[in-house]
Structure formats: C-alpha cells, structure tokens
Amino acid sequence: MEKVKSIKDIARMAGVSTATVSRVINQNGRFSKETEARVRRIIRETEYVPNMSAKGLRTSRTRVVGIIVPDITNPHFASLVLKLEINLFQRGYSCLICNTNESEKLERKHIQSLSAQNVSAIVLISGTRNYSELDTLPVIYVDRPSRSQKSSGVIIESDNEQGGYLATKELLEAGCRRIVILKCLGNDANQLARYTGFQRALTEYGLSEQEDMFVNLPEVSIENARSAISELLSQCIPFDGIMCTTDTIAAGALIALREHGLQVPRDVLITGFDDSQLAAACGPGITSVHQDVSKMAELATALLLEMICKKALPKTYYQLPVYLVTRASTQR
C-alpha cells in the first residue's frame, strides 16, 4: 500500500472527491455507507492520521475527546477505555484519558481542564455530579449514569439490577443459603442496582438479608475484599456463598478463602461482576456477569458523533442486556 500524505491521496485511491473524504472523516454531510466503508478501509490500510491541529483551528474544537475514568487499573474500566479509544481513533478523534481515583475533587479539575482545552466531547465513566462546564459540550455517561438529576447527557449502562439478580440466583440454585454480599461503600447507581438485584433473588427464595452477611468496602480493591472476608472468618461467621459486585472484589475474596484453608467451590461459592480477564484468570475461574464492553464503546462512539454534529438523538438512555458466564467457582 502506497504512503499517503493528505486527504487528496485518500480521495484519489477511493475514487471520490476530497470533500467526500472530509465529510466521512468529520462525520457530517451526506455520503453512502459503501463510500464510508471504502474510505475508512483505505485510511486504515494506509495508516493515515488526519491533522487534528489544523481541523481544530478551523472548527474551534480540537477533534479530541476527553475520557474520565474512576480507576484505570480496574480491568473492566481499562478494557472499556481501550475500546473507546480504538473506536474514536478510527473515526478521526484522539483521546485524553483522565483518571480520577474515585475523587470528586480530581474529577472536577479534569472536567475544567478538558473544557479549557476545547475538547469536542467528554465521555464520563465516573458518574459525575453536575458541572457548569458540561453545559456546552456533548456528554455521554458510559457504564455509570450521572448522579445528578440535572444532567442533560446521554446514558449508556448495563442492566445492573438483572446482573445482581443472576449472580445471586446462581448461588441460591447451587444450594447456598448464607450469602455474603461484598459491595463498595460508595452510592454510585451501579453498586446500588446490583444490590437491589441481590435482594430480589433472596426474596424469590423466601430469604431475608442477614446483617452479618452485608459488607461495605471503603473502595473497590483486592486488598479491601481480602481483609473483609478474613475478618468474617476470624469472627467464625458461617457463610457458604459470596456475591461480589465486581471481579476485583471477587479476586480478593478468593485470596482470603485460600489463606484460611478453604477451597472454592468445595467450601464456598463465589460470583463476580464484569466478566473481565481477571475472572477468567483467577483459579479456579470465577463465575461472573458479562457486560458487553464492545457494544458500550461502539454505541458511545456513534452517539458522540451524532451529538458533535448537533443531530437529534432518538433517546438519551440506553440499557444493555447482561448474562452470566458460568465458571468453576459455582460448580460443585
């Protein structure tokens, strides 16, 4: 494949005008799906990179999308950010990735900084509160909805309540009756929805919550989960199942059980949430709720481009289905 230097080369190779190539890259104006596919294939094969700075000067926007993530070390969030970055780059946008470490103060600073840099849009994975800087930008909340009632952005999330229900039902169907729920202390909507699903499953089986089975972690981490389960075991509190609201938490619980001489699934069953690589890698393999990260990223990218072009959207809330991936941690 020959080397290209400008959209003129792309246009010549695709057999279209430079204006058409520009419309495809900028996602505005009219062009057929066949033309778009041909232009994007040539861009991909030639590894052509649009001049973002020049475009920014012409449009006052930088063709850069800010992505705010609560914890980039979390396998689920890392996968989501990677897929977003790939999808956006293929459509001519670069990304500025900002990690908040679950800090609202740092989140606010990142939003102010991105706004000052004239980014084209912002993807928020951190479920932010309302900020005035977001009023003039296309905003999409992915994975976590906004905690603000005033938010005007688009929301894309998984059916977290159903996921919590499926994970808990798996334990109940396997015979567990004293189930620990490990969740994060924070009140983000995802954690609360998964907890609601947990409650629904217990109710279906005629069971009520047990206070000593409910554990709130100060933050999502392997160490916090390990410590929490170790504390329960040291207090001789009996349990036969653990429903974890993330795979990271499940990994920590698994470590604690091993340190106390207990085996999964012989002695205790475990479920996680996210179906991340961590769930598959942790022996014996953790049963986990699958979230369609690829679909999240694809949908977010498509909607962002529509919003950037000021096109009306059919709706502002999208909920994606989940399903349970069964592994050895629930198979006796």
pLDDT at position 2, please?
63
Residue 216 to residue 178: CA distance in whole angstroms: 17
Helix (H) or strand (E) holding 163: helix 160-173
What burial class does residue 135 get, using C-beta atoms within 10 Å of its C-beta: 0-12 exposed, 13-18 middle, 19+ buried?
exposed
**pLDDT digits (tens), the chain, 332 positions:** 566 667 888 888 888 888 888 888 777 677 888 888 888 888 888 877 765 545 544 445 578 999 999 999 999 999 999 999 999 998 889 999 999 988 888 888 898 888 888 899 999 997 656 677 777 789 999 987 766 555 568 999 999 999 999 999 999 999 999 999 999 876 578 889 999 999 999 999 999 988 889 999 998 899 999 999 999 999 999 999 999 999 999 999 999 999 999 999 999 999 999 999 999 999 899 999 999 999 999 999 999 999 988 888 889 899 999 999 999 999 98
pLDDT at position 57, please?
44
The residue written with tokens 């991105």 in the block is: 114
Q: Count CA within 13 A, CB hemisphere, residue 128.
A: 31
* CA atoms 165, 170, 174, 180: torsion sign: negative
Residue 129: alpha-carbon gap to chain centroid: 18
Residue 97 to residue 67: CA distance in whole angstroms: 5
Q: Cis bond leading into 284, ω under 30°?
A: yes
Residue 54 to residue 58: CA distance in whole angstroms: 7
Give pTM, 2 decimals: 0.80
The residue written with tokens 């509160």 in the block is: 129
